[in-house]
Chains A and B, each alone.
Chain A
Amino acid sequence: MDFGIVELSRLQFAMTALYHFLFVPLTLGLSIIVAIMETVYVMTNRPIWRQMTKFWGTLFGINFVLGVATGITMEFQFGMNWSYYSHYVGDIFGAPLAIEGLMAFFLEATFVGLFFFGWDKLSKVGHLISAWLVAIGSNFSALWILIANGWMQNPVGAEFNPMTMRMEMTSFTEVLFNEVAQAKFVHTVSAGYVTAAVFVLGVSAWYLLKGRHTELARRSIAVAASFGLAAALSVVVLGDESGYSASHTQKMKLAAIEAMWETHPAPAPFTAFGLPDQEARETKYAIEIPWVMGLIGTRSLTTEIPGIEELVHQAEDRIRSGLIAYDALMEIRADLNNVSDAARAQFEEHSDDLGFALLLKRYVDDPREATEEQILMAADDTVPTVWPLFWAFRIMVALGFSFIGLMLYFFYLASFKGMKFPKFALRLAVIMIPAPWIAAELGWFVAEFGRQPWTVDGVLPTALSVSSLSVTEVAMTLAGFVLFYTVLFIVEMGLMIKYIKKGPYMDVKETDEWMDVHRRRMITVGEPDAIATPAE
């Protein structure tokens, strides 16, 4: 087992996934915000809403294309860098990825062309439908990706088949309705909505500070604040749902996030602050809030949440049980055409723990030859590194609550204070623009780093999942990605800033519509209506 390959492959996956996830949340949310704006346009016929749709649509396009481009990497990277993983779980994991293409990505990618090129070729309603299909497509995309990811966190509906040496699906409905996947989906798309809302809010606030495009900016803030408020509430509530499901599906991840070294008598306290020390298995300077953890994790005052020590002991037992399964598997594999009933029965009894025996492959080629010491080391390996999880989680949650505050405040100003926004609030909105991205990336980190040392929890260790490649090859592609992605990022940011600075433009049709509206108003009202005057 070459450890360099594992580390490099992980680094590459983390880098490309985190990079991909810079664009995805904005796509998820902005597609809906744009569709909402166009709906208002179609319903009210007010040209300002058409202009808003086009302006935010342009920014959506600049972002969307990088999401698409970097998504290609994600789809192919499993086979390139993680070929044993692909073989081992492709029977289950491949299905949602393919369904994503069939059901969601095709829809999104086909209609995004019409969205940008179809303004003159479609009726108003036809174009509106295109906009919604793009939004629906991208959100369905997220659903299937998270069903795939949810299975890695909580591998239900599958069992190991000794004949094919891989996991095979036993129930598609279990994979589909995996509770982890459901909670993750809503949490993730809500995070995307918050990202887009904060983005629209921030950019609009900047316009107001500069006194430019104020009509577009005010209306955009109204949309962003109401959409963002609902989304910010949902992201926190569903985050809590994820925590609750982790308490029975991914106990180790939960214990690591909370730096809960020992099992507390129920209800466990929540550590708001502390410095986790992995070596000593204790958290220094801990500030604990009684009961809170027990309530979040189990929604009861009497259920215990197991601590890391206890889970390591359980892992040790499971390694020993896994070794029995592994032994039986070797006997089965020796002659696949003549499998004895005894070996099969022995395997089936312990097959749930097979993955734990595979943890030993890091130390010995044949896990059955592992020493006591190696078994204890492998059991220790089931604990992810605690401090990054502990902190990433806390920063994410704090940011999550800050978005509720921000959106609530702007919603209040927009709804009850006649859209009068104080300068400091506008500046705050601009400063907050990067915050949802930080929260989203940290969320991904907590979910994936917290699952270590597994790619599929309890089934397949990360160290075993990689392709048989040389360090040179993985290093070359990693360097290539870093180079490419850095250039693309600079180009993208440059264009975003250029188009934000440039602001909305009016095409011929819009100008005509403006003129119409004005002419009518001059005749009927006699004085210009403040809220409906065109942007400068």
Chain B
Amino acid sequence: MILHELISFDILRLIWWVLLGVLLIGFALTDGFDMGVGALLPFVAKSDTERRMVINTVGPVWEGNQVWFILGGGAIFAAWPPLYAVSFSGFYLAMWVVLAALIVRPVAFKYRSKRESTSWRSAWDWALFAGGFVPALIFGVAVGNVLQGVPFHLTPDLHSIYEGGVAGKFFGLLNPFALLTGIVSVGMLVMHGSAWLSLKSEGVIVERARTYGAYGATVAGLGFVIAGVWLAFGVDGYSFVNAVDPAGPSNPLLSEVSKGGSWLNAYNDRPWIMVAPIMGLTGVLLTIRGLRAGHEVSTLLTSKMAILGMISSVGLTMFPFILPSSSDPKSSLTVWDASSSHMTLFIMLVVTLIFMPLILAYTAWVYKVLWGKVTEKDVIEHGDSLY
């Protein structure tokens, strides 16, 4: 089959780098508000009825939203196998904590309302909180570590070996810069969750959500700016020592990489990428204003814009690096040497082009069917068929 040569290898890699971003951002835009709502749950809702009102705003949709995460994992596996192998085994215990949080979350949604007991319900409320807060924090921490480079090296067989002992590996992730990006991530999703709640809920819940959402957005915005300054002065960037063949074999060891210089040099080389951080910060400001003014639909949209801008800033700044290695820069994974084969990328692109529009269409339809607020009356009258 030579069909796949219709699109050249380097273009396919570029497309799959964009698609990786689309999936991660898609995850943050959809499941992001579910996680934000989970993290907000103990703060915006006090009584059982209030909590059920909050939970049921995401009740029918979190399951579909979560697939963005699963699909993100699957797509990394299929399109960027070295990235999948190195990052998941490298962030081992942190990944496990994320898994644990994401395992209890679905169960909490589904089982919470199945018994009346207060202790049963409050236990699941904590699970929902953890299911939102913990992944949001860890994903942010992971981004911070990726920006700084991660201590791993590849053997000539391409086994990936992560440096450090058990505790060192886990606690090494929790360095100050990474904690900052973790906080940005939590703030961002809290903002998004509150924008969702102000659209889908009512009364005192919305009032509280707007207050916390504005805090979250402020933290995210300030943190994002501080992280940018920190990148300029305190974090080394990575670059290729000599030119690489963008259509060469996917073997990171074939290229030479050096650590040093600044990531922000990218803004000299490609000034147009300024669009991303500007969009992120504008989104944050508009969202704060929207939350204060009580706008509903437009606030959710500006919140999405903020997330889109902030996450894509990271990717665009690092391009073409995906996962730099701090201890052995040569092992760094980049767009040009960490992808699947030409054929696999092509086939996966065809499949994505067929199914992604379908997914977007039926997801939009489902949201349309479910349009409208979840009211106190709904929860009291139809309690049996709700979460």
**A residues whose Cβ falls under 8 Å from a Cβ of B:** 61-62, 65-66, 68-73, 75-76, 78-81, 83-84, 86-87, 90-95, 97-103, 105-107, 109-114, 116-122, 161, 163-166, 168-173, 333, 336-337, 467-470, 472-473, 476-477, 480, 484, 488, 491, 495, 498-499, 505, 507
Contacts and interface: CB of A to CB of B under 8 A. Distances in A.
Interface string B96-118: 10011011111101110011000
B161 interface: yes
B96 A110 contact: no
Chain B interface, DSSP helix/strand/loop, else mixed:
helix
Most buried by B among A86, A93, A107: A86
Contacts, number: 256
Interface stretch (B181-189, B195-203, B323-331, B339-347): B339-347
A473 B93 contact: yes
Given A86-B88, A469-B92, 5 more contacts: A79-B89, A97-B78, A99-B348, A102-B356, A113-B64
B369 A86 contact: no
B344 A113 contact: no
Contact of A91 (B103, B344, B363): B344
Contacts of B105: 69
A73 B103 contact: yes
Nearest to A63: B110
Q: Nearest 10 pairs between A and B by C-beta?
A: A90-B81, A79-B88, A94-B78, A110-B64, A94-B77, A101-B71, A113-B60, A98-B74, A467-B89, A83-B89
B344 A164 contact: no
Nearest to A93: B77
Contacts of A80: 88-89, 92, 95-96
Contacts of A172: 1, 343, 347
B251 interface: yes
Contact of B347 (A79, A95, A488): A95
B13 to A, nearest CB: 13
B271 interface: no
A106 B64 contact: yes
Given A76-B99, A87-B160, A103-B351, A113 B63 contact: yes
Q: Is the interface of A mostly helix, strand, loop or mixed?
A: helix
B74 A97 contact: yes
Contacts of B343: 168-170, 172
Contact of B355 (A78, A102, A498): A102
A218 B161 CA distance: 60
Contact of A69 (B60, B107, B157, B384): B107
Nearest to A105: B67
A349 to B, nearest CB: 21
B144 interface: no
A488 B107 CA distance: 8
Given A95-B78, A168-B341, A101 B85 contact: no
Interface in B368-383: 369-370, 382
Contact of B85 (A87, A484, A498, A499): A87
Nearest to A468: B161
A505 B161 CA distance: 56
Which residue, of B81, B114, B359, has the highest number of chain A Cβ atoms within 10 A?
Answer: B81
Given A66-B107, A112-B63, A94 B340 contact: yes
Nearest to A488: B107
B157 to A, nearest CB: 6
Interface string B57-85: 00111111011011101111111011011
B162 interface: yes
Interface string B246-265: 00011100100000000000
Contacts of A505: 384
A27 B74 CA distance: 21
Contacts of B70: 71-72, 75, 101, 105
Nearest to A92: B344
B293 interface: no
26 contacts: A68-B63, A83-B88, A84-B159, A86-B77, A86-B81, A87-B81, A87-B158, A94-B81, A101-B70, A101-B75, A102-B352, A102-B359, A105-B70, A109-B67, A110-B359, A116-B60, A117-B60, A164-B341, A165-B157, A168-B343, A337-B254, A467-B92, A468-B159, A476-B96, A484-B100, A507-B384
Contact of B93 (A117, A168, A476, A488): A476
B249 A163 contact: yes
B242 interface: no
Nearest to A337: B254
B84 A113 contact: no
Contacts of A83: 85-86, 88-89, 159-160
A75 B73 contact: yes
B91 to A, nearest CB: 9
B386 interface: yes
Given A80-B95, A101-B71, A164-B249, A468 B162 contact: yes
Interface in B189-245: none
Nearest to A96: B78
A83 B380 CA distance: 49
B95 A76 contact: yes
A59 B69 CA distance: 26
Given A168-B344, A172-B347, A473-B93, A70 B85 contact: no
Given A98-B75, A121-B370, A79 B85 contact: yes
B338 to A, nearest CB: 10
Contact of A98 (B63, B77, B85): B77
A107 B370 CA distance: 16
A346 B370 CA distance: 63
Contacts of A491: 107, 111
Contacts of B114: 62, 495, 498-499
Contacts of B366: 110-111, 113-114
Contact of B107 (A65, A78, A94, A95): A65
Contact of B78 (A71, A98, A114): A98
B67 A101 contact: yes
